[in-house]
Structure 1
Amino acid sequence: MAQSSIEWTEMTWNPTTGCNKVSAGCKHCYAEVMTRRLKAMGVEKYRDGFELRVHPDALTIPYTWKSPKVVFVNSMSDLFHKDVPLSFIQQVFAVMNDNPQHVFQVLTKRSDLLPKYSGQLKWGHNIWMGVSVENQKVMNRIDDLRGTGARVKFLSCEPLIGPLPNMNLTGIDWVIVGGESGRKPRPMKEEWALDILEQCKAADVKFFFKQWGGVNKKKAGRLLLDQTWDQMPC
C-alpha cells in the first residue's frame, strides 16, 4: 500500500506484482522500470523482479485503512494476467466487497478474460473496472469491458499513441486520457485528445485529462483547451 501521485486515484494496493508486455502500450512500462529500482533497493516484495507473483499477505491491508480511500488495484501488475489463478482473483474481489467504504479501481490490458471470469466474480458497487485502450488495435477491449457486471466501467487511454475515432461508449462511465512520459515518450497529438473529449461529451461520459506527458511531464502540464479536466463518475 502506498500513497499515489497518479492524478485519478489516492493510493495503490498491489496483491500481485510483475507482468509481461501484451500490446504497444506496454513498450515503456513504468511498472517494470519501478520494479528494477525497488529490487535494487532490496525491497523483498520485488526480489524476483518483474516475474508475476501473487502476495496473499497483501489481502489484509484494506481492512487496516481507517478512512474511505480511492484505490488503484495492482499499479505494478495486472490482476487479470493469465498466470494469476481465478481463485486468487476471487479472493481479491472478496476483500474489495468486504470493504464497501473504499472505491477500488481495477485496470487490465487482458480484457479477453473478462467475459470468461465476470460471472464468477461478485461486482460490489465500489469496484470500478477499466481497460487500457492506447490505439485502435485494442478497441475490442471496450466490448469485453461492457459485458462485465461492474457498476462503473472506465477506459484508460494512456499512453495514447494513436487516434481513437468513433468509439462505442455505450455503457462506459469514464474515460482517462494521458500522454506517455519517460525518457523516450511517443508523442500524443492534441487532436486525438480533443476528439475523445468530444466523443465523451456526446455520450455523456465523464472525461479526465491526466497529462500531456513527455520527457518533462510536469512542465508539459495537464491543461486541455486551457482548463483542467478532472471529471469522475459518481
Structure 2
Amino acid sequence: MAEQSAIEWTDATWNPVTGCTKITAGCDNCYAHRFSERFRGVPGHPFENGFDLTLRHERLDQPLRWRRGRMIFVNSMSDLFHKEVPKAFIDAVFDTMESADWHTYQVLTKRSPRLRDYMSKRYADRVPPAHIWTGVSVEDRKGAARIEHLRQARSAVRFLSVEPLIGPVGPVDLTDIHWVIAGGESGPSARVMQIEWAREIRDACRVQGVPFFFKQWGGFRPKSGGRELDGREWSEWPTAKRMVG
C-alpha cells in the first residue's frame, strides 16, 4: 500500500491485485503497464513478473493495519473485476473493505458488467456500504456504455473517471452518478484531448448537478492556461472529501 498518492483525487493506493490486460483504446498507453514492465525479470522486485495478473494475498489485510482513515484507490495497478480474478478473491477484498470501514474506498473498473453483477448479488438483501464507492472508466462515446452498467449496480456512491479522454463522450446521462473526474492523457505518445470534449463533460455536470473534478490537461496545454476547466476552482467533491473554490 502506498501511504501517499500522486493521484489528485485520492489519498493512498491499495493493490491486492496487480497486472491486467488491455481491452479498450483507453488502455493503449496504460501507465501501470508501462511502469510494471520496466521491472520484468528483476529478481525480488514486486513487479518481477511485469504486468502479468497477480493476486497479492499478503496484501489483503493492509487497510486493517492502517489506522488513520483515508481515501483509498483500490487496484491502481490492476482491475479487480478482471475475468481472471476469482470471485472468492473479490469477496476477500470486499470483506476487508467492509471491516476497515474507517477508510473510504474507490473501486474503478472497465469491466462494468462484472461489477454490476457482483454488486447486485453481494448487496441484494442489504444496503451497500456508504464508504465503498464504485466507478467506471470512460474514454470516449463507446466507453460511455459502461455508465448504464454502473447505474444498475447496487452502490452507495457511483463515479466516473473520464480519463484518458480520447474522444467525445456525450450526450451523457448522469442520473444516479455522484461524481465525475475528467482529464487528458499524459506520458509518452499521449493523445490530444480536444477542449470541446472536456467542456461537454463539464457542462453536463453543471446542468445535471453532479460534482466535477478536472484532473489534468495531459499532453495538451491550451494557451489560455486552462483555468476555465480547472475543477478545483468551482466544483465540490462528495462529502467525504470536499473541495470548494
| TM-score, scaled relative to structure 2 | 0.89
- 186-195 or 116-125, larger mean C-alpha shift: 116-125
Query: Any idea what SS the aligned residue of 1:62 has?
Result: helix
Instruction: Supply the distance in 2 between the matched residues of 1:110 and 1:20 (Cα, whole angstroms).
Output: 11
Instruction: Supply the distance in 2 between the matched residues of 1:79 and 1:181 (Cα, whole angstroms).
Output: 23
Deviation at 1:43, TM superposition (A): 5.0
Deviation at 1:40, TM superposition (A): 6.1
2:132 maps to 1:127? yes
Deviation at 1:37, TM superposition (A): 2.9
Q: Note if contact 2:132-2:157 (Cα within 8 Å) is conserved in structure 1.
A: yes
Instruction: Supply the distance in 1 between the matched residues of 2:224 and 2:186 (Cα, whole angstroms).
Output: 11
Deviation at 1:106, TM superposition (A): 0.5
2:175 maps to 1:170? yes
Partner of 1:73: 74
Deviation at 1:119, TM superposition (A): 2.5
1:29-82 residue CA offsets vs partner (Å, 9 max, x unmatched):
000011123446655432211111111110110011121110000000000000
- 77-86 or 113-122, larger mean C-alpha shift: 113-122
Cα 1:141/1:32, change in 2 over 3 Å:
same
Instruction: Supply the distance in 2 between the matched residues of 1:222 and 1:30 (Cα, whole angstroms).
Output: 25
Give the counterpart letter for 1:203 in structure 2: Q
2:208 maps to 1:203? yes
Deviation at 1:16, TM superposition (A): 0.3
Query: Any idea what SS the aligned residue of 2:142 has?
Result: helix
- Of the three residues 160, 164, 187, the one matched with 2:165 is 160
2:151 maps to 1:150? no
Deviation at 1:189, TM superposition (A): 0.9
Cα 1:38/1:232, change in 2 over 3 Å:
farther
Deviation at 1:120, TM superposition (A): 3.0
Partner of 2:36: 35
Identity of aligned residues (%): 46
Q: Which stretches of structure 1, 4 residues or more, deviate above 6 A after TM superposition?
A: 219-222
Partner of 1:101: 102
Cα 1:77/1:233, change in 2 over 3 Å:
same
Q: Note if contact 2:110-2:136 (Cα within 8 Å) is conserved in structure 1.
A: yes
Cα 1:191/1:178, change in 2 over 3 Å:
same
Cα 1:42/1:133, change in 2 over 3 Å:
same
Give the counterpart letter for 2:150 in structure 1: L
Partner of 1:225: 228
Give the gaps of 5 or more residues in structure 2.
240-245
Query: Any idea what SS the aligned residue of 1:125 has?
Result: coil
Deviation at 1:222, TM superposition (A): 8.3
Query: Any idea what SS the aligned residue of 2:61 has?
Result: helix
Give the gaps of 5 or more residues in structure 1.
none
Q: Note if contact 2:117-2:153 (Cα within 8 Å) is conserved in structure 1.
A: no
Cα 1:43/1:198, change in 2 over 3 Å:
farther
Cα 1:63/1:27, change in 2 over 3 Å:
same
2:61 maps to 1:60? yes
Q: Note if contact 2:41-2:49 (Cα within 8 Å) is conserved in structure 1.
A: no
Deviation at 1:227, TM superposition (A): 4.3
Q: Note if contact 1:210-1:222 (Cα within 8 Å) is conserved in structure 2.
A: no
Deviation at 1:117, TM superposition (A): 1.4
